[in-house]
Amino acid sequence: MRLLDQRALPGETIYLDCRQPDEVMEAIRTLTVRGAPAIGVAAAYGIAQAMQLAVRTKDLHANSFDAIFDETCKRFGATRPTAVNLFWAIKRMQETAARWHIRGLHERAAMLVEEAKRIHAEDVEMCLAIGRHGAPLMPQSGGVITHCNTGGLATGGHGTALGVIRTAVAQGKQIHVWIDETRPLLQGARLTAWECAQDKLPATLITDNMAAHVLKLGHVHAAIAGADRIARNGDSANKIGTYGLAILCKYHNIPFYIAAPTSTVDIGCDSGAHIPIEERKAEEVTHLGGQRVAAAGVDVFNPAFDVVPHELIAGIITEHGVAKAPFEPDLVAMVARARAHHNQVEPA
């Protein structure tokens, strides 16, 4: 399984060949691959890889297959707690394993590979649909600010929030992208800026604490971000700093949108208060490029995400349309449509 190492961008383009599922888990855990949809795709392939390797064992029997599969799913689920796409993809793989339970072990393993490929292909199609639904919400001309990275690197391809901008530009809109640097890991500076440069999208990079000033100057006409988990009421968790940007947009009367596939919606989660927030190691804050930049011995609080309350969100853009306040009816209906579509197209 070949993964682009996002930690090395933009300085180097390095691909990692993961030959064991443990290597895929570590890639997810260490942000070699990141972005909620991309994490889900990577996990699906990693689970399929584990079972391909397992069936090469001559003495493997059905109970062993099931035990290895269950343990692999559990371990992948422990890599990143906030991104619900991870658990959505794992559930899809579990449903496939259950559906083919009476078949031979090699056939069951092959079907898991096919399901991972379907998850990947569906993510690309969902992103393109998100772009089509979101593009009309973007200004005909003007600035759009975004936070973290929500492009092709974070998904199976095209992107969510950045995908909306890509689609709008392809339709002829004159958009200038304002990119939050996104501290402490600089996903905006390293990844979104890189993607904009690759696509020749007009863009300006700012540090996170410049956003208020840029909005005050009138350079921004809309804001759009992705999400790692969306609660049933519309509260949306995204990279730390998104909540602050949403507050700034509210003050300056700028619409703030979330763009994410329905696989990011957690219908079982009532509100943002119940979204688990991953806390990461202190070195991400105290060090930059491997060099210490903070005083030794200082305590660090390093949550990876914050939650934007639904009251600050103008619309949630999914592959099935744009959910508006009150968000719950629209989100529930969209998730139901997505499930119905999956049930219609899944293999017999």
Residue 348 CA to residue 346 CA, distance in Å, equals 7
At residue 100, the pLDDT reads 81
| Per-residue pLDDT, 347 | 56
CA 44 to chain centre: 14
Which domain-ending residue is among 71, 105, 129?
129
Question: What is the C-alpha to C-alpha distance for residues 182 and 171, in angstroms, rounded to an integer?
Answer: 28
pTM for the whole thing?
0.92
| 173 and 301 within one domain | yes
| Dist. CA 118–CA 160, nearest whole Å | 18
Specify whether 190 is located in the same domain as 65. no
| Same-domain check for residues 149 and 50 | no
Find the catalytic residue in 228, 235, 306, 330.
228
Q: Which residues of the chain have pLDDT under 50?
A: 348
Same domain, 125 and 142: no
Residues 138 and 98 in one domain: no
78 and 123 housed in the same domain: yes
The pLDDT value given to residue 346:
59
For the question of residue 66 being annotated catalytic, the response is no
CATH at residue 155: 3.40.50.10470
Beta bridge partners of 323: 316
288-324: pLDDT as tens digits: 888 999 999 999 999 999 999 999 999 999 999 999 9
222 shares a domain with 177: yes
Burial level of 184, CB count in 10 A (0-12/13-18/19+)?
A: buried
Does 124 share its domain with 137?
no
Ranges of beta strands (E only) in the chain are 2-4, 15-17, 141-146, 174-180, 203-206, 222-225, 229-231, 236-239, 256-259, 265-266, 287-288, 291-292, 305-308, 315-318, 321-323
Is the domain of 96 the same as that of 142?
no
**Three-state secondary structure call for residue 329:** helix
Altogether, the residues listed in the chain come to a count of: 348
Q: Last residue of a domain, which of 129, 163, 185?
A: 129
25 contacts 3 by C-beta, under 8 angstroms = no
Residues 218 and 283 both lie in one domain:
yes
Same domain for 116 and 11, yes or no, is yes
Copy the structure tokens of residue 29: 């855990």
Last residue of a domain, one of 129, 162, 182: 129
Q: Number of folded domains in the chain? A: 2
Residue 15's CATH number: 1.20.120.420
Q: Are residues 7 and 146 in the same domain?
A: no
**Domain around 71:** 2-129
